[in-house]
């Protein structure tokens, strides 16, 4: 690991002031950043430790929604009583990821900003446009089992690895950030970006901007939801494809459905226009198959990951059934229902 300077931020203003200097990077739980530094993927000149900031709280909003502090850990969030009661899909998605030890340290802000698990991104001996702009993409024509099938570009076919963010996508969460130019609230759909021709930009955060919280609207999806994570191992593995579904059901009819995919794109993949297909309909395999086609329309495989297209189709159908029937995928015993 290369030498780096280290300082602690005393408050949010101090963090933003220090973080906006060239070569500075925030560090929270360090569960991703330390690896990136050890692999020489990221080379910050200075780490700004944000752990002293008072951003650990999970609090009720006046609107009735819930504010998740950027420094609240993934474990604290998943086991929070209101999250479990009102937004159990978020608990489920978080608990499907990493390990108990990691979730005790990993923070919500860090989870949002974790970087891709593309093998070539981590191998600093090989070209990678995300690591080194305009150097090329080693994944195209290489080993692509974990890569994207939707929204990719010729410059990058990486995926965003987070489980938590896929659940946040269907919960219509918003990300609160603060920087030298003031505060912003970014809808989760606009937070992460597709690679296009600037794949080194994972999201719309500006350099030096700090995530302070994630807000959840005052809605409840206590019964008709599921987070289905399909992966090589049933534990301690990133998603090949994951499917988050929440529904409002009334008298056996789908009043509203939101579906997002993980493991397939540079950001959680959601098509709100396709969700209209489910609205006002009675659940059926045929309906969910039609919807699955619409959600994965335009998917392209790169060889090793061709299987993801069919896996996504079938996963969507299964997850929609689980949500409609109120039989969410269990993350505690990891059974595949």
Ligand X SMILES: Cc1cc2nc3c(=O)[nH]c(=O)nc-3n(C[C@H](O)[C@H](O)[C@H](O)COP(=O)(O)OP(=O)(O)OC[C@H]3O[C@@H](n4cnc5c(N)ncnc54)[C@H](O)[C@@H]3O)c2cc1C
Residue ranges in contact with ligand SF4 by CB under 6 A: 116, 118, 120-121, 128-130, 137-139, 156-158, 199
Report the partner that residue 157 touches, choosing among ligand SF4, ligand X, none (CB closer than 5 to 8 A by kind). ligand SF4
Q: Does 107 help bind ligand X (rule: CB under 6 A)? A: yes
**From 31, 129, 138, 277, residue interacting with ligand X (rule: CB under 6 A):** 31
Compute the least distance from the CB of residue 186 to ligand SF4, in Å. 23
- Which phi-psi region, left, alpha or beta, contains residue 77 (left: φ > 0; alpha: ψ -120 to 50)? alpha
Q: Does 129 help bind ligand X (rule: CB under 6 A)? A: no
- What x-and-dash track marks residues 141-170 binding ligand X by CB under 6 A? --------------------xxxx------
Residues binding ligand X: what is the number (CB under 6 A)? 29
Cα(111)–Cα(307) distance, rounded to whole angstroms?
A: 27
Report the partner that residue 151 touches, choosing among ligand SF4, ligand X, none (CB closer than 5 to 8 A by kind). none
Q: Does 188 help bind ligand X (rule: CB under 6 A)? A: no
Q: Does 102 help bind ligand X (rule: CB under 6 A)? A: yes
Q: Pull the structure tokens for residue 241.
A: 């494809």
**From 9, 16, 24, 28, residue interacting with ligand X (rule: CB under 6 A):** 28
Task: Name the segment binding ligand X (CB under 6 A); options: 22-30, 123-131, 193-201, 306-314.
Answer: 22-30
Per-residue DSSP letter, 330: P
Task: Name the segment binding ligand X (CB under 6 A); options: 1-9, 109-117, 178-186, 301-309.
Answer: 109-117
* Nearer of residues 186 and 295 to ligand X, judged by Cβ: 186
* Nearer of residues 81 and 233 to ligand X, judged by Cβ: 233
Q: Does 109 help bind ligand X (rule: CB under 6 A)? A: yes
* Nearer of residues 201 and 287 to ligand SF4, judged by Cβ: 201
Compute the least distance from the CB of residue 155 to ligand X, in Å. 21
Distances (CA, A) of 13 to 51, 70, 92, 214: 14, 15, 34, 18
Report the partner that residue 27 touches, choosing among ligand X, ligand SF4, none (CB closer than 5 to 8 A by kind). ligand X
Q: Does 230 help bind ligand X (rule: CB under 6 A)? A: no
What separation, in Å, do the N-terminal and C-terminal C-alpha atoms of the chain show? 44
Task: Name the segment binding ligand X (CB under 6 A); options: 1-9, 31-39, 138-146, 181-189.
Answer: 31-39
Residues in touch with ligand X (CB under 6 A): 25-33, 50, 70, 74, 97-98, 102, 106-107, 109-111, 113-114, 161-164, 210-211, 238
């Amino acid at each position: 690991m290369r030498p780096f300077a280290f300082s602690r931020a005393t408050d949010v203003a101090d963090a933003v002031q220090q973080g906006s200097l060239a070569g500075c990077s925030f560090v929270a739980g360090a569960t991703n950043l330390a690896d990136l530094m050890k692999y020489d993927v990221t080379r910050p000149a200075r780490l700004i430790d944000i752990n002293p900031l008072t951003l650990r709280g999970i609090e009720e909003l006046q609107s009735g929604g819930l504010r998740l502090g950027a420094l609240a850990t993934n474990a604290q969030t998943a086991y929070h009583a209101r999250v479990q009661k009102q937004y159990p899909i978020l608990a489920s998605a978080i608990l499907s990821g990493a390990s108990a030890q990691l979730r005790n340290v990993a923070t919500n802000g860090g989870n949002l900003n974790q970087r891709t698990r593309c093998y070539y991104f981590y191998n600093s001996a090989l070209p990678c446009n995300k690591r080194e702009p305009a150097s090329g993409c080693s994944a195209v024509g290489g080993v692509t089992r974990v890569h994207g099938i939707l929204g990719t570009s010729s410059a990058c076919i990486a995926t965003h690895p987070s489980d938590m963010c896929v659940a946040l996508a269907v919960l219509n969460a918003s990300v609160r950030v603060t920087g030298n130019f003031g505060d912003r609230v970014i809808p989760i759909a606009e937070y992460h970006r597709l690679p296009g021709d600037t794949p080194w930009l994972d999201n719309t955060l500006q350099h030096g901007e700090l995530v302070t919280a994630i807000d959840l609207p005052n809605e409840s999806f206590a019964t008709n939801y599921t987070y289905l994570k399909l992966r090589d191992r049933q534990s301690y593995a990133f998603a090949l494809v994951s499917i988050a579904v929440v529904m409002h059901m009334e008298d056996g009819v789908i009043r509203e459905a939101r579906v997002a995919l993980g493991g397939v794109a540079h950001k959680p993949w959601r098509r709100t226009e396709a969700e209209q297909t489910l609205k006002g309909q009675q659940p059926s395999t045929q309906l969910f198959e039609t919807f699955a086609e619409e959600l994965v329309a335009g998917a392209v495989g790169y060889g090793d990951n061709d299987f993801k297209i069919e896996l996504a189709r079938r996963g969507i159908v299964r997850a929609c059934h689980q949500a409609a029937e109120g039989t969410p995928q269990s993350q505690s015993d990891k059974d595949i229902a």
